[in-house]
Amino acid sequence: MYARTATAAAAAAALMGAGALLMSTTDTRTTTTVTAGHTSTVTGIRTVSARTDDTKPDAPVVFAHRGASAYAPENTLAAVDKADALGFDWVENDVQFTRDGVLVVVHDTDLKRTTDVEEVFPDRAPWAVKDFTAAEIARLDAGSWFGPQFAGTRVPTLKQYLDRIERNHQNLLLEIKSPEIYPGIEKETLRVLGRKGWLDRNHVKHRLVIQSFGADSVKKVHQQRPDVTTGFLGTPAVADLPSYAAFTDQINPSHTSISADYVKAVHALKGAHGKKLRVNTWTVNDAATAAKVAGFGVDGIITNTPDVVREATG
């Protein structure tokens, strides 16, 4: 999904204050993630969309895209913590393989935009994630590009990321990035999730969704762990939706590609777990668009500015 620039992120930060006022003053999440007596449902997952007392019962669940990436460097632990501080339970991330087979949390298939890799390794063009070891990537500064206050921020491994969101009691919308260049990434992702305790009944039922732009990748996850909720990133033709419903639980399209009729067509079908197919749309960063897609009936909104979306829809 398209990334915001640091300049745009800084401008968006001015919007943060109003959204922050909507935070609950206490965090009373339980294993069923019910807070303030209000829950939302996404593909059988019960969770608060944001910890407030005045959220509309039918408001879309808000997903913090790459963490609260308008306010902290995307896909870092700082962005996860910012989402938590703003009161958001769901975070979205991207996983890729290093050269030595470690899963790291980073969006682009190269490291140029969000790290200082060109300075640290000037002779390693084109600086693809898959060409660096985990130890080499751990040396990179993944925060200075966003702002000097984030200097020294690191690219987290998936294990480190899972530890942090577990500590924060957050939930995960995990994207398998570019699976066509990472053979076996689905199996390894599930292995790491399992070793970190994320494939037990509670996590699988309430706290985890795995998605990808690759239909074959989503199918592999569904085949290897049929109990895991899955999502397909894209906008299949209405005529093709039944074939996707056989292996996924969510159709997650760009907000520019949908209408109320399209959302209705998705909702008319049952997904791989026998429940209504859901729609989580991306990447919505302004109040007007958030209100528009909420009017379409989407189930969730993926956003860099979760506080702005919450205020517009909740």
CB of 273 closer than 8 Å to CB of 294: no
| DSSP H stretches of helix in the chain | 6-12, 16-20, 77-86, 117-120, 134-137, 158-167, 185-195, 201-206, 215-224, 241-245, 260-267, 287-296, 306-313
Catalytic residue among 107, 203, 222, 255: 107
Q: Which amino acid is at 270?
A: K
CB atoms within 10 A of CB 256: 11
- Biggest CA–CA distance in the chain, Å, is 56
CA distance 46 to 255: 24
Residue 40 and residue 311: Cα distance in Å, rounded?
16
Number of alpha carbons in the 13 Å side-chain half-sphere of residue 67: 25
Phi, psi of 193, deg, nearest 5: -55, -45
Q: Which of 38, 65, 203, 222 is catalytic?
A: 65
Active site residue 169: no
Q: In the numeric block, which tokens belong to residue 73?
A: 């460097």
Helix (H) and strand (E) counts for the chain?
13, 11
Per DSSP, what are the bridge partners of residue 92?
A: 65, 173
**Residue 206 annotated among the catalytic residues of the structure:** no
DSSP state at residue 1: -
Name the residues annotated as catalytic.
65, 107
